Amino acid sequence: MSDIQRTCPQCQALLEVPGDAVGKQAQCPACQHVFTIPELPAAESSQTSLTAETSEPAADPPTPDSPQPNSPQPESPQPGGSQFSPAGDEDVRPGPPVVPPPPPRFPTSDSNPYAPSGQADSSPPRPRLAPVQITTAEPAEYINATWSLFRSAWKPLVAAGTVAFAINFGSSLLGTLLTIAAQESGEPVFGILNGVLRTLLGLASLFITLGMMRMSVDLARGQTIRFSQVFQTGFGVFGLSLLGYILLFLPFTLLVVPIVLAGAFTGFAPDAMLGAGLICMLPLMVLIFALFLYLWSYMYFLVDRETGLWAAFRLAFQLGSVNKLNTVILLLLSMGLSTAGMCACFVGQVASVPATVLLAAVAYLQMTGQPIQLPPPPLPPAGAGAVSSEVYS
């Protein structure tokens, strides 16, 4: 079927759409407005109705049996089969028209792109969560999906990454200054203040990271994200995430025991303690890798599913057991993004940190069998004359 031309009701741009797209929704490439394609253009529709009105035949002259213009007319039944007689001479007017909500930025899995424009969307603010089905994922798929999603909503993501970078940079700067002050003055108060400030800024960094996880999961599901979401993590999710972080950190404290024992038996000789530390380095690295391999996704289960802590650990362990190779690839990609961010004078972390969080979120959704809603491909710039408009089919 040949293409037809329609006018965007928002910016009046002339668009060219397929002939079989009538009744479907299209997005204007000039103003990004989503509208339902009418059967006839607005000008042609108004001209057709005007022609129909002017072409009506003249009324027949009244007959004796026909009602006179001034004679009272019988009341006609209202739609629905019942009659309604207003009391007195009150003027009964129809209520205000129902204005449908604005269309989403791009269709989600729960929205019907072919629904009539006047029909209100009764879908919930967030799409229904698909059941968790642990499966494997293709690295090429979540890499390409991450790049497409990051390009579509890089502004709120980079803004969130800027907040995280400011917190980490402030923690490092204040820690260095307080350490120097403690060494020069010999006052323990600077060391205590350093520990308190680093702890508080570490909690703030965890809070912002959880907000970026929420933003990334919503973006991968086709939701429109906002910068304010980075500050909307619930206290329950934050508390469970912090508790899980502490529990995962406890095994590392056991590695200090050999160093203390070596120092106790050798009179705390530096060489003996250094040798014990080097010996403990290997099991420390193995423990870190094992924890990341099997439990890296527990925070995503807390943020996305709002499960209990032990349920999040259990699901994360199942996911890591099935996706060992994918987890190693994800670790290497995250290290590459972090290195790229540090090479740009550390300022590149404002983009590399949210990109890493988004990459892990997309991989998490694919590894749990949940659908990912990608944004539509970029539309060509609006030029003179008719341009092609993309139809969601």
Of the ranges 59-73, 76-90, 175-189, 211-225, which one carries the lowest mean pLDDT score? 76-90
Rounded to an integer, the average pLDDT of 273-295 is 81
Of the ranges 99-113, 159-173, 213-227, 312-326, which one carries the lowest mean pLDDT score? 99-113
The answer, yes or no, to whether residue 67 has pLDDT greater than 60, is no
Pairing of strands 390-391, 34-36: unpaired
Which range scores top for mean pLDDT: 1-10, 95-104, 183-192, 298-307? 298-307
- Residue 37 is predicted with a pLDDT of 82
| Confidence at 260, pLDDT banded by 50, 70, 90 | confident
End-to-end CA distance of the chain: 16
How far apart CA 358 and CA 244 sit, in angstroms, is: 21
Q: Is residue 129 a contact partner of residue 305, using CB atoms and an 8 Å limit?
A: yes
78 forms beta bridges with none
The answer, yes or no, to whether residue 271 has pLDDT greater than 90, is no
Of the ranges 106-110, 142-146, 158-162, which one carries the lowest mean pLDDT score? 106-110
Closest CA relative to residue 27, chosen from 102, 105, 101: 105
Domain layout of the chain by residue ranges: 139-367
Of the ranges 101-105, 180-184, 290-294, which one carries the lowest mean pLDDT score? 101-105
Backbone dihedral angles phi then psi of residue 139, each to the nearest 5 degrees = -55, -40
* 373 vs 49, more confident: 373
Rounded to an integer, the average pLDDT of 108-113 is 40
